[in-house]
Structure 1
Amino acid sequence: MILLISDLHLEEERPDITRAFLDLLAGRARLASALYILGDFFEVWIGDDAMTPFQRSICQALRDLGDSGTAIFLMHGNRDFLLGKAFCKEAGCTLLKDPSVVQLYGEPVLLMHGDSLCTRDEGYMKLRRYLRNPITLFILRHLPLSTRHTLARKLRSESRTQVRMKANDIVDVTPDEVPRIMQQFGVKTLIHGHTHRPAIHKLQIGEQAARRIVLGDWDRQGWALQVDENGFALAPFDFAPPPQLAAPTH
């Protein structure tokens, strides 16, 4: 069994999501041969040198899973593209390029975060090219922490404002881009996140049947794609209720 997830947007302000993720690591993921996290794992990441105790606890949980025998693969999202080698080494995970082709039960499958498919959002695509430029990344990683915190807050605020203002089709994937990139990589299955619109879309690329699987974001429930000898199964799951505090004794 292989599990794929994305868009958890982990942060201290959402302990329910953190608990659900830790439950997944302690349970279902222990039975998997591999866990793929396709971006926006954290709500924000300003550099491996700025890890908070909360982020270190997540790092340790991943390490524990890896030590149990599950291979862990991580891909950058638009929120955490500064995740680097230091984090991956400490967490015991492998950083994947976006896009990457992997073998899932004998089938070559294209994995992406998904933001690069939204080509109609020209403003975002321009910003993405700028932020992912190696020179920009070098400069960002060497800015003072206080400056990085300020920039991260500014980018998050502007992103939320822009998404609210833009039409739904602008912030979704560009239909023509999907078959183009699938043909480029010679695959019949594409898996991505980013759009927060979980679904399995049937496609026709030339004479071949194909599919695009969109992973769901974790908010009011979690989403996971399970791949095994029976195929691909995308399904949500409820978060466990928070632990009850013991009643005070007198």
Structure 2
Amino acid sequence: MLNAPVCYILADVHLQPDHQDPINLAFIRFLTEWAVQADQIYILGDLFEAWVGDDLGTITYAEEIAAIKALVQQGTQVFIGHGNRDFLLKKTFYQASGAHPLEDITKANIQGTDFLLLHGDQLCSDDQAYQKMRRWFHHPLVQWLFLRLPKSKRKQIGEKLRVKSATYSQQKPIEIMDVANQAVESLMQSYPQIKHLVHGHTHRPAKHRLDGKLSNKTRWVLGDWRPEAQILKIEQGQPGLVSFK
């Protein structure tokens, strides 16, 4: 009897520049122990702690990218989307890894069940300052100009933004940085046939049942990888959160 198809959905790995970092080692182990037995893997953003251009990132994370490529070559489909830390993933990265890019909001049919997949920062609409910054960073012209800066300058800016983001998160009330119910409801109303929304970003893994007329819909929140990953496993069309230590 053949094994049932398995799909894993994860986010917020935050791979570090140090290949021996516990997070990096755990991710490689996930690829070789769990992912290798799966038909599909979806990574919903922030795979990398920072990404300031394919020319730098493909060198810094060469070992991890090679491991993803090896997984693809053995037959597992890998899909990777943008997060708020690695929104500059471009064509060279996808060619090097063999992964398929995801749209900002992706509708995916997995084992006969439709899922709506996204990083999740789009739903934090109460944090208006962040949303303004996000729109600015995602502007094609801004990205075009940034990627033409010298490598050393991009590294410097990337590190400053990373530190600033950490400070910003400590100063903001957690309620503001979490997803807004109104944003979730508005999104799900736009996709009435889809019952499962999956996202990361907030690092608050949980299963949420929506209210009112949307009570037949579920929001799955993925965890980060510190100290252990909370990922979504889909088997025979049935999703559930599982831990990878």
Q: TM-score range by the shorter chain?
A: over 0.9
Corresponding position: 1:227 with 2:234: yes
Max Rg structure: 1
Corresponding position: 1:122 with 2:128: yes
Corresponding position: 1:144 with 2:170: no
Q: State whether residues 20 and 222 of structure 1, in contact with CA within 8 Å, keep that contact through their aligned partners in structure 2.
A: no
Residues 147-174 of structure 1: CA distance to partner in whole angstroms, max 9, x if unpaired?
A: 1111111111111111101111100000
C-alpha displacement at 1:198, in angstroms?
0.1
Counterpart of 1:21 in structure 2 is 27
Gaps of 5+ in 2: 1-5
Counterpart of 2:53 in structure 1 is 47
Counterpart of 1:179 in structure 2 is 185
Between the aligned partners of 1:21 and 1:34, the Cα distance in structure 2 is 16
Among residues 170, 186, 190, which one is paired with 2:176 in the alignment?
170
Q: State whether residues 14 and 47 of structure 2, in contact with CA within 8 Å, keep that contact through their aligned partners in structure 1.
A: yes
Between the aligned partners of 2:79 and 2:23, the Cα distance in structure 1 is 20
Q: What SS class does the counterpart of residue 72 from structure 1 fall into?
A: strand
Counterpart of 1:80 in structure 2 is 86
Between the aligned partners of 2:123 and 2:174, the Cα distance in structure 1 is 14
4+ residue stretches of structure 1 with deviation over 2 A? 51-54
Counterpart of 2:199 in structure 1 is 192
- Percent identity reads 38
Q: What SS class does the counterpart of residue 219 from structure 1 fall into?
A: coil
Between the aligned partners of 2:202 and 2:215, the Cα distance in structure 1 is 25
Q: What SS class does the counterpart of residue 209 from structure 1 fall into?
A: coil
Give RMSD over aligned pairs: 1.4
Instruction: Give the letter for the 1:236 counterpart.
Output: S
Gaps of 5+ in 1: 239-250
Aligned residues: 238
Q: TM-score, structure 1 length as denominator?
A: 0.92
Q: State whether residues 112 and 237 of structure 2, in contact with CA within 8 Å, keep that contact through their aligned partners in structure 1.
A: no
Between the aligned partners of 1:52 and 1:63, the Cα distance in structure 2 is 12
Q: TM-score, structure 2 length as denominator?
A: 0.93
C-alpha displacement at 1:134, in angstroms?
0.8
Between the aligned partners of 1:182 and 1:234, the Cα distance in structure 2 is 21
Between the aligned partners of 1:36 and 1:104, the Cα distance in structure 2 is 11
Q: State whether residues 110 and 237 of structure 2, in contact with CA within 8 Å, keep that contact through their aligned partners in structure 1.
A: no
Between the aligned partners of 2:154 and 2:86, the Cα distance in structure 1 is 13
Between the aligned partners of 1:188 and 1:100, the Cα distance in structure 2 is 14
Q: State whether residues 199 and 222 of structure 2, in contact with CA within 8 Å, keep that contact through their aligned partners in structure 1.
A: yes
Counterpart of 2:106 in structure 1 is 100
Instruction: Give the letter for the 2:221 counterpart.
Output: V
Corresponding position: 1:6 with 2:11: yes
Q: State whether residues 39 and 75 of structure 2, in contact with CA within 8 Å, keep that contact through their aligned partners in structure 1.
A: yes
